[in-house]
Amino acid sequence: MTLLVTGGAGFIGSNFIRYWLEKYPEDDIINLDALTYAGNLASLKDVEQSSRYSFIQGNILDADLVGDLVEKADKIVHFAAESHNDRAILDPGIFIETNIKGTFTLLEAAKKYNKHFHHISTDEVFGHLELGTDDAFSETTPYAPRSPYSASKAGSDHIVRAYHETYGLPITITNCSNNFGPYQHPEKFIPRMITDIIDGGTVKIYGDGLYVRDWLYVLDHCRAIDAVLSKGKNGETYLVGGMTSDVSNKDIALKVLEIMGVSEDKIAYVADRPGHDRRYAVDWTKIHNELGWQPEHSFEEWLKETVAWYQNHESWWRPLKERAESIYTK
């Protein structure tokens, strides 16, 4: 089988390509990535020589290129997106272009060649939950995005589903919670914190720090996509979440400081993100009951592994960090 992976030079896509090539020695992967600020071929150094892997630098909005590549593939696994909320607040237009129009361009090609389209999306499309409740998002939660990023992802999910209902396109969708692990861009919360501490700086906590995400180790996410591609039902959506329950950003900062042997006075409370979603939590019962998936990497242990990975891979993150810092609320 040949998979066309979009956005494979990003955080999750690069982990997925490595996972898939190792697990399925008969399969080939074509990686289509525009190499935006978030795309980094250094994340794929160890697979670039593989005869089963090829890289095409190009934009998912390029209909001719997309058509040629989709024709060659058996399935499309669509990761490519603008993915950072802070950037979406400053410059939402590119999120609409890439996440909505880019997905539409891919869907048109998938429809033309009748190829299975797997769409990677986020739990943020459901809006946010109250602190101190047991509520969790499930496949039946109504969409209620609150930020330009999550609204653009919600739009793309709707169009994917519409192509299934209207044209009979074979599709599956996964909506997952916040990922963490190796090769995540240092603009995101956990890597930003680790790399700031390595540099002797402060950990920036937005607002009161009592914001909660449902942290999912990136390899567990790759395993979930694998389960859906292998056994998922055509037209279905599966939610994917992690093993944390209600760990706040402040708690995570304290854990990271402890792991790195640095004192708590390195925490700096900075201006809050506008429209900051308070809490996300994912009920992953459906993918567990129907496809036998569950997360296997505990947050505590894999947070330590992730800290160690960044400590040992400074040459990977340093150039990205230098380019990214200017966008932040200081």
Q: Where along the sequence are the contacts to ligand TYD (CB under 6 A)? A: 85, 178, 188-189, 192, 204-206, 211, 213, 249, 273
Cβ 235 vs Cβ 160: under 8 Å: no
In the bound state with ligand NAD, the residue whose beta carbon lies nearer, of 11 and 299, is: 11
Closest CB to ligand NAD among residues 10, 182? 10
By the rule CB under 6 A, 212 interacts with ligand NAD: no
> 194 and 310 in contact (C-beta within 8 Å)?
yes
Give per-residue burial for 90-127: e unless 16+ CB within 10 Å, then b: eebeebbebbbbbbbbbbebbbeeebbbbbbbbbbbbb
With a CB cutoff of 8 Å and minimum separation 6, the contacts of 212 are 131, 246, 247, 248, 249, 278, 279, 280, 281
Q: Assess 61 for contact with ligand NAD (CB under 6 A).
A: yes
φ, ψ (nearest 5 deg) of residue 190 = -65, -50
Single-letter amino acid code for the residue at 16 = F
Smallest gap from residue 26 Cβ to ligand NAD (A): 25
Binding mask 29-58 for ligand NAD (x = CB under 6 A): ----xxxx-xx-------------------
Task: Give the footprint of ligand NAD on residues 170-189 (CB under 6 A).
Answer: 176, 178-179, 185
Burial class of residue 88 (count of CB atoms within 10 Å of its CB; 0-12, 13-18, 19+): buried
Site mask for ligand NAD (CB under 6 A), range 111-150, x = bound:
---------x-x----------------------------
Q: Please state, in angstroms and rounded to a whole number, the distance separating the CA atoms of residues 181 and 19.
A: 13
| Binds ligand NAD by CB under 6 A, chosen from 98, 141, 150, 249 | 98
Q: Which stretch binds ligand NAD (CB under 6 A): 73-81, 130-138, 160-168, 291-299?
A: 73-81
Parallel/antiparallel/unpaired status of strands 53-57 and 75-78: unpaired
Buried b / exposed e over 14-30, threshold 16 CB at 10 Å, is bbbbbbbbeeeeeebbb
Q: Which is nearer to ligand NAD, 32 or 307 (CB)?
A: 32
The entry of ligand TYD, ligand NAD, none near residue 206 (CB within 5 to 8 angstroms by kind) is ligand TYD
Nearer to ligand NAD, 73 or 176 (CB): 176
205 binds, among ligand TYD, ligand NAD, none (CB under 5 to 8 A by kind): ligand TYD
Tokens 């033309």 belong to 112
In the block, which residue shows the tokens 């930003």?
Answer: 192
Taking contact as CB under 6 A, which single stretch among the options 18-26, 76-84, 103-111, 192-200 is the one that binds ligand NAD?
76-84
Q: Hey, which residues are catalytic here?
A: 123-124, 149
The item of ligand NAD, ligand TYD, none sharing an interface with residue 59, based on CB under 5 to 8 Å by kind, is ligand NAD
| One-letter identity of residue 259 | I
Task: Note whether 295 binds ligand NAD by CB under 6 A.
Answer: no
Compute the distance between CA of residue 24 and CA of residue 39 in angstroms, rounded to an integer.
24
Closer residue to ligand NAD, CB minimum distance, 120 or 324: 120
CB of 198 to ligand TYD, least distance (A): 15
Task: Write the CB contacts of 167 (distance below 8 Å, at least 6 apart in sequence).
Answer: 111
Please say whether the beta carbons of 181 and 171 come within 8 A.
no
Q: Verify binding: residue 244, ligand NAD, rule CB under 6 A.
A: no
What are the residues binding ligand NAD (CB under 6 A)?
Answer: 6-7, 9-13, 33-36, 38-39, 59-61, 79-81, 83, 98, 102, 120, 122, 153, 176, 178-179, 185
